[in-house]
Amino acid sequence: MHGDLNMKDDAMNAGSSHVLTGRYPELGSEPIPIEPYISPQYFELEKKYLFKKVWIHVGRVEEIPSAGDYFVKQLDACDASVLVVRNRDGAIHAFHNVCSHRMNKMVYTERGSTKKFFCKFHGWAYDLDGRLVGVPDEKCFTGLKREEHGLSPVNLDIWQGFIFVNLDRTPRQSLSDFLRPMYGELEGYPFEKMTSCYSWSAVVNCNWKLALDAFQETYHVSYVHGRSIASALLKSDAGGLRPLDGLCGEYHRRLSIAGNPKSVYGNPNALTSASNGETPGSANRPIGEAALRFGRGGTRFDISQEDLPKAINWTRHPNWAFDINVLFPDFYLSTRPNYYQAYNFRPLTHDKFWFDARVYYPEMTTAGGRFYQEYMKVSLRDVLLEDLSTLEHNQAACATRAKTHMVLQDFEIMVRHQFAVIERMINEGQAKESRH
């Protein structure tokens, strides 16, 4: 069907159906248990040994461009509300969103800009560095030392413009050490140029891992997305939608996926300088075709695959469409030549998560570019409605305990990897505790 592409050696077309399982024998090939998806006790272990120990993505630096700009992130899996603020020197810091006096939540709003933070309970005031700078009726306190009662800091670091926090007072590793073994060569991707962000959110009655699982394999695409974007991905010779390759690290994982260049949605060159100017000629999708045609030349800046860092399209496939990067534990980052998606699957309870879905495009300068962007964005949103459609049924089915284990095929290895990493971290955490 695409024999001219000569890609017989990649995972997508390999005769063996154990390409990735064979590469990572330590992950095993046995069915994995359902219990971690439905157990409140297991979720407590995840909170303790994962979410309160590792770096958690909370947003982009562009969200708070000026001194005094702030946002608040509710992180239930860390039992924390975190205030992220840019100070007068331009540095970004994080604090527990908790007043030092009688523990009221300091900031109620999700985001804003301020010169100082005032507690609404008794009026205590803090500056942008979290220092206590105002105490009404201060003389009524006995020996109050302001310098001992600033906001409690939370460890914060930034990678490629993404802000991460770590609720552990003494993180076991730096953000750089955490990310770079898998994502060092992703550095240099033009994240900062994708400044037009659209987002949606929903509370979904599903375990966060079960939800993330639905986003880290392509096996479901022909079925869940059969009417929408299945035709935008490239079928392998075997007929299925297999990824080009997959990488499993100590914590993180990656998948690389090929697109159908004759589609609009899966066209990796749309609106880039690599575009050959062809329209897909899809008679049954004239609006999509019009979006591509009238959007040409409508972006603020031009990008092409040649400018992208090494880690992008690491198999160098000619029809590469996108890479899925799962930054452990709950941050899904899909990097494409002309835009990227950033989803957080924030756990609320063992069977509920908050889906914070964002897509970042370059700014459009023409109405035609804006039309293309809207077409892509609306298509993505409807595809997400398809992805979300199975999750609550999936969770309810797990909870019946009709089955105790799930079976996985080779290209669902990321589901297995997620389970294995979490098990390892819980076991290591418990072993460390028992030694003390």
Partner 1 sequence: MNAALETSKGAGLLPEGFENLECASEWSLRTETQRIKHRQESSYAAITEFRDAVLPELPRIFEYLNAKDLRTLSVRDENLLFLTLALAEIAPAVEFYRQAAVIEGFDALRFLPVENFCLRPKR
Catalog residues that contact partner 1 under the rule CB under 8 A.
60, 62-63, 111, 195-204, 227-228, 284-288, 290-291, 294, 298, 355, 360, 363-371, 374-375, 377-379, 381-382, 384-389, 391
The minimum distance between CB 384 and partner 1, in angstroms, equals: 7
Instruction: Give the separation between CA 66 and CA 88, rounded to whole angstroms.
Output: 8
The smaller minimum CB distance to partner 1, of residues 91 and 378, is found at 378
Residue in the structure block whose two tokens are 């079960």? 210
281: left (phi over 0), alpha (psi -120 to 50) or beta: left
Instruction: Give the separation between CA 174 and CA 82, rounded to whole angstroms.
Output: 19
The minimum distance between CB 130 and partner 1, in angstroms, equals: 22
Residue in the structure block whose two tokens are 């599903």? 206
Instruction: Give the separation between CA 336 and CA 264, rounded to whole angstroms.
Output: 14
The smaller minimum CB distance to partner 1, of residues 36 and 368, is found at 368
What are phi and psi for residue 292, nearest 5 degrees? -65, -40
The minimum distance between CB 11 and partner 1, in angstroms, equals: 29
The b/e string for 33-60 (b: 16+ C-beta within 10 A; e otherwise) is bbebbbbeebbebbbbbbbbbbbbbbbb
Dihedral of CA atoms 226, 228, 231, 233 in degrees, nearest 10, equals -100
Dihedral of CA atoms 317, 161, 76, 74 in degrees, nearest 10, equals -140
What are phi and psi for residue 62, nearest 5 degrees? -65, -15
How many residues does this entry show for the chain? 436
The minimum distance between CB 332 and partner 1, in angstroms, equals: 16
The minimum distance between CB 238 and partner 1, in angstroms, equals: 25
The smaller minimum CB distance to partner 1, of residues 68 and 318, is found at 68
Instruction: Give the separation between CA 399 and CA 207, rounded to whole angstroms.
Output: 11
The smaller minimum CB distance to partner 1, of residues 169 and 393, is found at 393
The smaller minimum CB distance to partner 1, of residues 218 and 299, is found at 299
Nearest of 117, 120, 122, 123 to residue 151 by alpha carbon: 117
Structure tokens at 218: 């392509």
The smaller minimum CB distance to partner 1, of residues 103 and 202, is found at 202
The minimum distance between CB 211 and partner 1, in angstroms, equals: 11
Structure tokens at 363: 């700014």
The minimum distance between CB 303 and partner 1, in angstroms, equals: 18
Number of Cβ within 10 Å of residue 225's Cβ equals 19
The smaller minimum CB distance to partner 1, of residues 163 and 391, is found at 391
The smaller minimum CB distance to partner 1, of residues 13 and 366, is found at 366
The smaller minimum CB distance to partner 1, of residues 13 and 74, is found at 74
The minimum distance between CB 195 and partner 1, in angstroms, equals: 7
The minimum distance between CB 92 and partner 1, in angstroms, equals: 15
